């Protein structure tokens, strides 16, 4: 068996093309393009790469970028004030605080300062609450991107055993809720899970979102399982995920690469969330962006 690759990069490019075409039509009618404000604090190299990728993608589809990089010594109060300004700015449809922030800043309080309608990262209490209740709202970019990728490849989820390794509020928990909403039976695993391999071998859908190179080995994967690698690990040889890609490719039926899998879908979902917010603010009829 050789796993089919879940090509997030190609799907993301298709989605961006659809967004670009639609925005070229509607932005002149509205009188302005969508606007995304990105707040990046400090000089973390990984954050610099992510922000650059997001800003480039915004320019490609016709979204105006606001915000920018701020010194590491920027205070909590200054950032909260900046977010409030963006909350009130009619040109801004989405606000993103690039994580991680310097250790002396309270990221949770800053995220909760963003008005829920502009919370394109889906991390405000209101949007997380809507996700929990199964109500429409802005959803976390990485989990929503994973679900869109699985849907594109028509991978059945109803009745399947899904194991999510990782329980962060950024990925693991919201992704588990989305899988549950698709009628999968969901189990969360984490650092204190006994016999992790015994659990993962039961999974029809196995998702690793830990950030630990080599965590998921071929012996931990059920033959024919769908394996989604959300992990990002920087090595001298480049980016790698949590999954032993070569080994697991011989066991799984579907597998995401790193890079070129979930990361590309995360950026695409951020653009989609921004456009969704823009459409709601201007009461536009939104098409189904499917890729």
Structural domains of the chain, ranges and CATH numbers in brackets: 30-114 (3.40.50.10860), 141-263 (3.40.50.720)
Token pair belonging to 82:
């900046």
The residues that are catalytic are 54, 98, 121
Residue 228, pLDDT above cutoff 80? yes
Query: Residue 198 class from Cβ within 10 Å (0-12 exposed, 13-18 middle, 19+ buried)?
Result: exposed
How large is the average pLDDT for residues 107-128? 97
CA distance 18 to 112: 31
Annotated binding site: 166-168, 232
- How many Å is the maximal CA-CA distance in the chain? 58
Annotated binding site for NADP(+): 166-168, 232
Quick one: what percent of the chain has pLDDT higher than 90? Answer: 93
Q: Provide the pLDDT for residue 35.
A: 98
Beta bridge partners of 66: 37
Residue 291, pLDDT above cutoff 80? no
Helices (H), 123-253: 125-133, 141-152, 172-181, 196-200, 245-249
Residue with the two structure tokens 């963003």: 114
What angle separates helix 125-133 from helix 172-181, to the nearest 10 degrees? Answer: 30
The predicted model scores a pTM of 0.95
From residue 174, give the alpha-carbon distance in Å to each of 27, 68, 170, 233, 270: 32, 27, 7, 21, 15
Residue 18, pLDDT above cutoff 80? yes
Tens-place pLDDT, residues 123-158: 999 999 999 999 999 999 999 999 999 999 999 999
Sign of CA pseudo-dihedral 186, 190, 230, 255: negative
Q: For the chain, what is the mean pLDDT?
A: 96
Q: Provide the pLDDT for residue 250.
A: 98
CA distance 154 to 132: 24
How large is the average pLDDT for residues 8-35? 97
Tens-place pLDDT, residues 159-202: 999 999 999 999 999 999 999 999 999 999 998 999 999 999 99
Q: Provide the pLDDT for residue 229.
A: 98
CA distance 53 to 57: 6
* Angle, vertex CA 165, rays to CA 134 and CA 139, nearest 5: 30
Q: Provide the pLDDT for residue 93.
A: 98
Tens-place pLDDT, residues 28-42: 999 999 999 999 999
Q: CA 203: distance to chain centroid?
A: 22
DSSP state letter for 250: T
Q: What confidence tier does 1 reach under pLDDT thresholds 50, 70, 90?
A: confident
């Amino acid at each position: 068996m050789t796993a089919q690759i879940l090509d997030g990069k190609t799907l993301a490019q298709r989605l961006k093309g659809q967004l670009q075409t639609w925005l070229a039509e509607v932005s002149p009618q509205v009188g302005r393009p969508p606007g995304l404000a990105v707040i990046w604090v400090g000089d973390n190299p990984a954050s610099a790469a992510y922000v650059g990728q997001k800003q480039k993608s915004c320019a490609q589809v016709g979204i105006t970028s606001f915000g920018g990089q701020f010194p590491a010594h920027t205070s909590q109060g200054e950032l909260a004030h900046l977010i409030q300004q963006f909350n009130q700015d009619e040109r801004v449809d989405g606000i993103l605080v690039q994580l991680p922030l310097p250790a002396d800043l309270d990221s949770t309080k800053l995220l909760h300062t963003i008005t829920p309608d502009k919370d394109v990262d889906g991390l405000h209490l209101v949007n997380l609450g809507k996700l929990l209740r199964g109500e429409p709202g802005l959803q976390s970019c990485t989990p929503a991107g994973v679900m869109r990728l699985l849907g594109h490849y028509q991978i059945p989820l109803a009745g399947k055993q899904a194991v999510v390794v990782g329980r962060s509020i950024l990925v693991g928990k919201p992704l588990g809720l989305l899988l549950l909403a698709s009628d999968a039976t969901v189990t969360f695993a984490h650092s204190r899970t006994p016999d992790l391999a015994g659990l993962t071998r039961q999974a029809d859908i196995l998702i690793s979102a830990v950030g630990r190179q080599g965590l998921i080995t071929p012996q931990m994967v059920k033959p024919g399982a769908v394996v989604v690698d959300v992990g990002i690990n920087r090595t001298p040889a480049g980016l790698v995920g949590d999954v032993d890609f070569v080994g697991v490719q011989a066991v799984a039926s579907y597998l995401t690469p790193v890079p070129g899998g979930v990361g590309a879908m995360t950026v695409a979902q951020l653009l989609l969330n921004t456009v969704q917010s823009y459409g709601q603010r201007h009461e536009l009829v939104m098409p189904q962006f499917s890729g």
